[in-house]
Amino acid sequence: MSRQLNSVISLTVVIAESYPVKSCNLDDLSYSCSTSSSEDTCCYENYGVILQTQFWDTDNGSDENVFTIHGLWDDKCDGSYDQYCDSSLELSNLQDMEQLISETFNNPDLYNTMSQYWLNDNGDNSELWIHEYNKHGTCFNTIQPSCFTGDYKKYENTVYFYEKVVEVWKTLPTYDFLEEALIVPSNDKTYKLSDIKQALKAKHGGEVYVGCTNGAINQIWYYFNVKGNVLNGDYKPIDSLTDDGCSEDVKYLPK
């Protein structure tokens, strides 16, 4: 990735979209996983733990110095999770994603960003997007069709889910966070897992999960609780609920 684009991402102040969902008075609500909850299921995410997950993948066709998107997941407050929660909301594997996002919902910028930064190892990016929405997106109770205002259009919640994934990802430029701590990709050097986690916690505010393959970083997960609707609510960083998948000595390989 060009350093210019990486800098743009790191300096971007992402303002939540005015999503067409029911209004929630955040002053009257608690964060998810608290002891109290709203009676309005459009204003309280029942599962409660939101993960923004990223890849550092040297095999997905991207040579850019950016951690690409894996997804936005909703876990239960104990770290467990359900999946494929509502088959009636799922996308078909035959869905034309460019047509759906760029044409039906008139958001070519979102489609282009997803095409550049939400990448599947096998080259079929739409397959990954569909999988991530069907597995995780259908489990968010605050983006059920009944939570939308106006005349709901089929798959409206799906496209706004994708938009939110990208929005949260833009606030977490992992490559830049690590570079600021002088942690950069190298074929020869190894880093301490504790140093990597400390650098990311300093930026995020909570402990992150670091995943490895063959001793090298391949994933980072950021954890949140949310107050209100997952689309336009307030995200609060929390510590990871998952044991790291790396040893103390970690490789960080160049793409």
DSSP track, 34-62? SS---S-TTSS-SS-EEEEEEE--TTSS-
174-197: average pLDDT: 97
Write down the catalytic residue from 45, 136, 167, 204: 136
Write down the catalytic residue from 17, 98, 103, 132: 132
pLDDT averaged over every residue in the chain: 90
Task: Confirm if 152 and 145 have CB atoms less than 8 A apart.
Answer: yes
Banded pLDDT at 60 (limits 50, 70, 90) = low
| Residue 132 annotated in active site | yes
| Residue 204 annotated in active site | no
E strand map for 67-163: 68-75
Write down the catalytic residue from 70, 163, 167, 204: 70
Token pair for 105 = 């919902």
Q: Structure pTM?
A: 0.91
| Residue 248 annotated in active site | no
Complete domains list, the chain, with CATH? 3-251 (3.90.730.10)
User: What pLDDT, on the 0 to 100 scale, is given for residue 186?
Assistant: 96
**Which has the higher per-residue pLDDT, 30 or 196?**
196
**Which has the higher per-residue pLDDT, 113 or 35?**
113
Residue 161: what residue type? F
Strand, coil or helix: what is 204?
Answer: helix
Task: Confirm if 16 and 232 have CB atoms less than 8 A apart.
Answer: yes
Residue 143's Cβ-count burial label (10 Å; 0-12, 13-18, 19+) is buried
68-91: average pLDDT: 96
Nearest to 196 by CA among 213, 223, 217: 217
Task: Confirm if 249 and 162 have CB atoms less than 8 A apart.
Answer: no
Q: What is the spatial distance between Cα 71 and Cα 133, in angstroms, rounded to a whole number?
A: 8
